[in-house]
Every structure is written in C-alpha cells, then in structure tokens.
Amino acid sequence: MTDDNLSAEGVVEEFGDQFNSHPTLPDYMAVPGVLPNDGRVELTSIGVYGKHQHKGYAREALHLLTALCDANGVTIELVARPLPNDLAPGCPASLSTDDLVRWCTKLGFEDVGEPGDDACRMNDHPR
C-alpha cells in the first residue's frame, strides 16, 4: 500500500458512499456489512431482498468492494455462511454454505479455513 492508497477504514467509507449512490443496488439489497479489521476489510453480511435474488445484485456489490480493495492494496476477509433471517430482514438465506463457497471462489476468494469448520473462512487478496 502506498501513501496515496486508502486505508481499510477509507475503503469501507468509500464503499458505503458508492453503494448508497448506486442507481439500483440500495433498492434491491440490504447495505452489505463491511467493517475495517486490523488493516483488512471484513465482509460480515451480504443479502438481497427475496424477489430480487439470483439476478446479480450481490455480485455487483461485491465487485464494487473488490475493485476498491484491489486499487488500495487491502485484503477482504469473509466467512461463507448463510445469513440468519434477522440479520438482513427481507433477505432470506437462499444459498447453503457450500453454494456460498462456490460463489465466492468464482469471484476470486480463496478458502483459508480449517477442514471440518461449519463455515468457510475466505480471503481475497489485492490483485
């Protein structure tokens, strides 16, 4: 990371600005849970409202986040696990842990978890 790059905190703030000003994403999904965590960005939740699921909105939001992280040399961490229904109201969990892992892997994340975990810890390193 160079002096011109945003910190993890700056990436989270910029992502929030980009998400909230996006012409469609805020209408179709809950604001993703994104937190700075020890120089990295932690994705804690991503959920799309029921009738809008499986149309690419979560992928689009994640592309916004990964582009910011890549441009600023920041790693993203997440745990692939279905959301509890109360975490993102209106966004029912429609993918299993295995499906989430496959989806995240297609988007460039790598599995860094321990075998036998009930969820999959994943990272996306800057490109």
11 pLDDT band, cuts 50/70/90, is very high
57-72 and 8-21 helices cross at what angle (nearest 10)? 140
DSSP H or E run through 63? helix 57-72
The listed CATH number (3.30.43.10, 1.10.10.10, 3.40.50.10420, 3.40.630.30) that belongs to domain 8-124: 3.40.630.30
* Best mean pLDDT range from 61-65, 98-102, 123-127: 61-65
pLDDT score at 25? 97
Whether 23 shows a pLDDT value over 70: the answer reads yes
Whether 2 shows a pLDDT value over 60: the answer reads no
Average pLDDT over residues 47-57: 94
Q: Mean pLDDT over all residues of the chain?
A: 89
Distance CA 56, CA 14 (A): 21
Q: What are the boundaries of each domain within the chain?
A: 8-124
